[in-house]
Amino acid sequence: MKNKAITSRDVDFAQWYTDVVKAAHLAAYSNVKGCIVIEPNGYALWEKIQSILDQKFKETGHQNVSMPLLIPENLMKKEGELIEGFAPEVAWVTMGGQKKLEERMCIRPTSETLFSDYYSSVVTSYRDLPLKYNQWCNVLRWEKETRPFLRSREFLWQEGHTIHETSEEAEQETRQMLEIYRDFFENVLAIPVITGRKTEKEKFAGAEYTLTVEALMYNGVSLQSGTSHYFGQKFSKAYNISFLNRNNEQAYAYQTSWGTSTRMIGGLIMVHSDDNGLVLPPKVAPKQVAIIPIGNEEEVLKKTDEIFTLLKEAGISSFVMAEERSPGFKFAEAEVNGIPVRIEIGKRDLDKNKITFARRDTREKMEEDATIDVVSYVKQLMEDIQTNLYYRAYERMQSLTYECHNLKEVEEIMKNRPGFVKGMWCGDAACEAKMKEIEGTKSRCILEDEAPIDEHCIVCGKKAKDLVVWGIQY
Amino acid sequence: MKNKAITSRDVDFAQWYTDVVKAAHLAAYSNVKGCIVIEPNGYALWEKIQSILDQKFKETGHQNVSMPLLIPENLMKKEGELIEGFAPEVAWVTMGGQKKLEERMCIRPTSETLFSDYYSSVVTSYRDLPLKYNQWCNVLRWEKETRPFLRSREFLWQEGHTIHETSEEAEQETRQMLEIYRDFFENVLAIPVITGRKTEKEKFAGAEYTLTVEALMYNGVSLQSGTSHYFGQKFSKAYNISFLNRNNEQAYAYQTSWGTSTRMIGGLIMVHSDDNGLVLPPKVAPKQVAIIPIGNEEEVLKKTDEIFTLLKEAGISSFVMAEERSPGFKFAEAEVNGIPVRIEIGKRDLDKNKITFARRDTREKMEEDATIDVVSYVKQLMEDIQTNLYYRAYERMQSLTYECHNLKEVEEIMKNRPGFVKGMWCGDAACEAKMKEIEGTKSRCILEDEAPIDEHCIVCGKKAKDLVVWGIQY
């Protein structure tokens, strides 16, 4: 039994994705081209993601701020590489209050320039360092092809920007934030990831290097899910973030930035969901348990109320579906919205001292004694679901990860059953470009801690330098 | 003893305001004209405001969403009055991705148009109603004169937008949200307010009527602090938000919107703060207690730790100022940042079994037994501070509220000791304009529940219709 409004993901993955976004009321297309309306279910999910990540940022000494939305053209251009990278995708404000502006301004595609400008005005001594700021905001990139959550002209994200006294400390920050992202993906979103360093071509415009978290979707396509950049002194020299160091000399700060976005919601859908709609890991589900009374007999309502109160007191987010609709309608509704656990309470069951639990991930139903310790049972069930979702995705990722030694192998894989391809690389941009001719395969990242699998570059056969993971990207 | 970096508020109120914003690290001017950087202390205050208001919105059945930042010109113009009102202050995006746009788009100054467009696409039956959505976001209005928090080109706010089956329900919503704002100002921000209806001239562009929360600053100037609008069917007809009603006929929805912004932070400063910096009511202070060890003797550090742990367990937000700076420096630092309660722990005091508490509002110091129940004591102290701040502001507002019967009285008051002037009005726009010639005095609102104080219009002497509160505005 599948939800009729949802195309099967094995038949048409792209259509299935759009159908789930719509059926679960996560987002709607708007009349503003390339921009979406994030609807209540989608936004509640984003709030949950924000609250968990934000706490991790604060625990590691970061503070939130708010920078302007607009960037004057001159300020945007100061560093050089950044504007070159972003020029094709920024939107320009040229009129304000019915007058042509003397200097046009772009809507922030990212805020390195603004943070750098601000930092340069407040830092004077090494005693002022480090400064570790973050902001939750909207950014705009004029994309041509857009997909809800995955790629839209406007999206919501967080961008952390920090400055440090030494390169060691800044590099440590870059790695720490990557680790926070990896942990969040694996332990909260239940999405297994690989992490590594971007190639020169794929790194962030203006960065010395970019570390990345890469995930694999149900259909074998990769999703860049979070990045952490080390800038060295590039921006601090361009924007003059200088300070008096411990030797009483002027020095430039070392800088990082790191970000994740509403794209994570797209990842959650494409990794866990199925033909019945959204599937959410309990740790990130805004609503964890749906309680469904079947009929309105006094004992049914009493038990419903009792269980709702118990779960609420235990800090489990639950709600009662009390509308006058058929049980089947409500079951489907709870399913399509990805509620991890469903509890069904009916008179006939209660007469036999039974209630029914259903888990969203496997769609199993479990009949249990009505006198069971509901809180412990639900907690255990949610743990099982969280673990199961992770391992299901992990096994899929494993089964779709290949070691290749020549282009023919890559071609066959990317055509028939794409995934992550591990292959050696000489470091030459031409070889990277050659790879792209195969179904748009791009380097995802250089694996820094794994042993080489070959001595020769998978493309040109010359001496290989790095082990790279390649994949088709969203 | 006053903070040297801060001008006295009785000498130069405008400079004092700017000095407090800077000294308390609430915001900094940016190189983007008319836009500010909200710094960690300012943003933490905004997060606290958000969390309290957001909970009230959710408790009353509202859900958060996210609408696009940009509005195509045609969509913006559909209703007519709104664009007329906002045209002088919108910014236009005319270029995207290096191409001139076919249709220019404005950056949202407010989002009635986007919500209306969205609602028209999702509502089909009375069963879909009401829809009660809110968003926390940034908006842009191309102001000429700007002041941090009070009036800036970009600001952060929340805007609620709801649609209903009947006018009664929509009007009830309009009043309910005004009441939530009033309650929040009085009981959380400790700012006494008056509430009423805006005149035709001062109401929101496109609204049938606007209800408002108005506060009085230390210098007698008024601040419009929150508004709640009833739209009737104006937008729903322009944007075709129609549905099949209970009689199976097509009908148009009734609509509201309501908003408050980071301007509240400006109000908090101008109502409570003093020449020593920021003063915050405990209920909205991100950090409520500063614990300051004097010296580093073991017993001092032990007591510091003990008190910090006790307060933390009681859910009181406190922090230890452990830096190697003089006690005087730390006292001033806690003061300028508006921390409501300070606890000073020194060896000499402890030897006499004493610790010292200081309250920020009155700057009193209280020596107490070191064995006192710190949690109860601090809780009581914070309640006293909260109450005292409210009544201090309330008494000031009372002493600056006048009843006037002719323009000469108004002139004298607005010149010498401005405040809220109550005066009767005939309802004629010409009389309202005449009033503005007196130091820029504008109608704040029509008091709906108070008895008339005269039969004649304060300006023209003709038969009066409404009792109006007038004031000089920010």
- Measured between CB atoms, does A85 come within 8 Å of chain B? no
| Closest Cβ opposite residue A107 in set B37, B93, B153 | B93
Cβ count within 10 A of residue B323: 10
* Tokens matching residue B433: 């304009």
How far apart CA B360 and CA B334 sit, in angstroms, is 9
Confidence (pLDDT) at B225: 95
Exposure letters B82-98 (e unless 16+ CB within 10 A, then b)? bbebbeebbbbbbbbbe
How far apart CA A260 and CA A39 sit, in angstroms, is 20
Please state the ipTM of this predicted complex: 0.96
How far apart CA A437 and CA A433 sit, in angstroms, is 7
Q: Report strand pairing: B63-64 vs B131-140.
A: parallel
Rounded to the nearest angstrom, the minimum Cα separation between A397 and chain B is: 33
Is residue A422 a contact partner of residue A413, using CB atoms and an 8 Å limit? no
The chain-wide mean pLDDT, for chain B, equals: 96
CATH of B287-381, one of 3.40.30.10, 3.50.50.60, 3.40.50.300, 3.40.50.800: 3.40.50.800
Which CATH architecture does the domain made up of A289-381 adopt? 3-Layer(aba) Sandwich (3.40)
Distance of CA A275 to the CA centre of its chain: 22
- Measured between CB atoms, does A37 come within 8 Å of chain B? yes
| Closest Cβ opposite residue B37 in set A47, A65, A156 | A65
Confidence (pLDDT) at A2: 54
Confidence (pLDDT) at A1: 46
The yes-or-no verdict on residue B123 having pLDDT over 90 is yes
**Which parts of chain A have pLDDT scores under 70?**
1-4
Is residue B333 a contact partner of residue B292, using CB atoms and an 8 Å limit? no
CA distances from residue B77 to A248, B202, B238 in whole angstroms, order as listed: 59, 21, 10
Query: Smallest Cα–Cα separation from A467: which of A439, A438, A445?
Result: A445
Distance of CA A454 to the CA centre of its chain: 32
Confidence (pLDDT) at A474: 86
- Scanning the structure block, which residue is given the tokens 């207690």? B289
How far apart CA B222 and CA B213 sit, in angstroms, is 10
How far apart CA A256 and CA A245 sit, in angstroms, is 19
Instruction: Please name the residues in contact with B192: beta carbons below 8 A apart, sequence gap of 6 or more.
Output: B185, B186, B215, B216, B390, B393, B394, B397
For residue range B269-323, what is the model confidence (pLDDT) as tens digits? Answer: 999 999 999 999 999 999 999 999 999 999 999 999 999 999 999 999 999 999 8
CATH superfamily of A401-472: C-terminal domain of ProRS (3.30.110.30)
For residue range A45-56, what is the model confidence (pLDDT) as tens digits? Answer: 999 999 999 999
* Tokens matching residue B166: 């009947």
Confidence (pLDDT) at A460: 96
Given an 8 Å threshold on Cβ–Cβ distance, is B96 in contact with A40? no
The yes-or-no verdict on residue B463 having pLDDT over 50 is yes
Q: Report strand pairing: A420-425 vs A401-403.
A: parallel
Which CATH architecture does the domain made up of A13-272 adopt? 2-Layer Sandwich (3.30)
Q: pLDDT class for B1, splitting at 50, 70, 90?
A: very low
Secondary structure E strands in A19-97: 27-29, 36-38, 63-64, 70-72, 91-96
Is residue B118 a contact partner of residue B257, using CB atoms and an 8 Å limit? no
Rounded to the nearest angstrom, the minimum Cα separation between A96 and chain B is: 4
Residue B106: φ, ψ to 5°: -100, 155
For residue range B188-233, what is the model confidence (pLDDT) as tens digits? Answer: 999 999 999 999 999 999 999 999 999 999 999 999 999 999 999 9
Residue A19: φ, ψ to 5°: -60, -40
| Closest Cβ opposite residue B65 in set A40, A66, A87 | A40
- Scanning the structure block, which residue is given the tokens 């839209």? A152
Q: Report strand pairing: B154-164 vs B254-261.
A: antiparallel
The residue with greater pLDDT, A244 or B82, is A244
- Every domain of chain A and the residues it spans: 13-272, 289-381, 401-472
| Closest Cβ opposite residue A68 in set B44, B98, B154 | B154
* Tokens matching residue B178: 């005004």
Query: Smallest Cα–Cα separation from A220: which of A444, A387, A6, A453?
Result: A444
Given an 8 Å threshold on Cβ–Cβ distance, is A121 in contact with B28? yes
Cα-Cα-Cα-Cα dihedral sign, residues B43, B44, B47, B52: negative
Secondary structure E strands in B184-306: 193-197, 209-216, 222-232, 242-244, 250-252, 254-261, 289-294
For residue A348, the number of C-alpha atoms closer than 13 Å in the C-beta half-sphere is 3
Given an 8 Å threshold on Cβ–Cβ distance, is A75 in contact with B32? yes
**The amino acid at A301:** L
Exposure letters A281-298 (e unless 16+ CB within 10 A, then b)? bbbbbbbbbbbbbbeebe
* Tokens matching residue B401: 């509220």
| For testing contact with chain B, the best of A69, A83, A104, A241 (most B CBs within 10 A) | A69
**The amino acid at B334:** A
Exposure letters A45-67 (e unless 16+ CB within 10 A, then b)? bbebbeeebbeebeeeebbbbbb
Cβ count within 10 A of residue B221: 17
Confidence (pLDDT) at A3: 63
How far apart CA A435 and CA A414 sit, in angstroms, is 11
List of chain A residues whose C-beta atoms are within 8 Å of the C-beta of residue B241: none
For residue range B248-273, what is the model confidence (pLDDT) as tens digits? Answer: 999 999 999 999 999 999 999 999 99
Exposure letters A187-197 (e unless 16+ CB within 10 A, then b)? ebbbbbbbbbb
> Considering all CA atoms of chain A, what is the largest pairwise distance in Å, rounded to the nearest integer?
82
3-state SS of chain A: helix, strand, coil percent to 5?
35, 30, 35
List of chain B residues whose C-beta atoms are within 8 Å of the C-beta of residue A261: none
Confidence (pLDDT) at A4: 65
